[in-house]
C-alpha cells in the first residue's frame, strides 16, 4: 500500500476497449471530453499510434478509435485514480449514444 499526502499528484493508468459499433465518433467523443474536463488531472489517451489529450475533442477524434480498438487512459494529478476509474466505466457506456 502506498501512502500519499492529501492533494499530492498521482499517476494512474487503465486500459479501455471501444465497444461502440461505430467507434469513438463525434457524439460519444464529445461526451467523453466533457467528462474529462470535470477532473483536475491531466488526462491522455495513448494508442500504438500516439498520445492524445483527452481534454481536446480534436485529439480524441485523431486517436481514430474504431470498434474493438484498445487504448490506455493515463492521468496525472490529484484526482488521477478517480478519473481513470470513472472514465474507464464511461467507455463501457458510450455505445448507448448510438441507440435511437
The domain segmentation of the chain, as residue ranges, is 10-98
Q: How far is CA 12 from each of CA 18, 23, 27, 33, 98, rounded to the nearest angstrom? A: 19, 24, 26, 18, 29
Tens digits of residue pLDDT in 79-96? 999 999 999 999 888 766
pLDDT value, residue 91: 87
Could you name the CATH architecture of 10-98?
Answer: 2-Layer Sandwich (3.30)
Whole-structure pTM value = 0.84
**Which are the catalytic amino acids?**
25
Average pLDDT over residues 55-81: 96
43 touches 54 (CB < 8 A): yes
The answer to whether 67 and 95 are in contact (CB under 8 A) is: no
Amino acid at each position: 500500500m502506498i501512502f500519499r499526502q492529501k492533494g499530492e499528484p498521482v499517476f494512474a493508468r487503465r486500459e479501455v476497449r471501444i465497444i461502440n459499433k461505430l467507434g469513438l465518433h463525434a457524439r460519444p467523443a464529445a461526451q467523453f471530453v466533457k467528462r474529462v474536463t470535470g477532473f483536475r488531472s491531466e488526462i491522455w489517451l495513448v494508442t500504438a499510434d500516439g498520445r492524445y489529450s483527452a481534454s481536446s475533442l480534436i485529439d480524441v477524434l485523431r486517436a481514430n478509435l474504431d470498434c474493438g480498438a484498445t487504448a490506455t487512459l493515463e492521468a496525472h494529478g490529484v484526482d488521477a485514480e478517480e478519473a481513470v476509474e470513472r472514465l474507464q466505466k464511461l467507455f463501457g457506456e458510450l455505445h448507448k449514444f448510438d441507440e435511437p
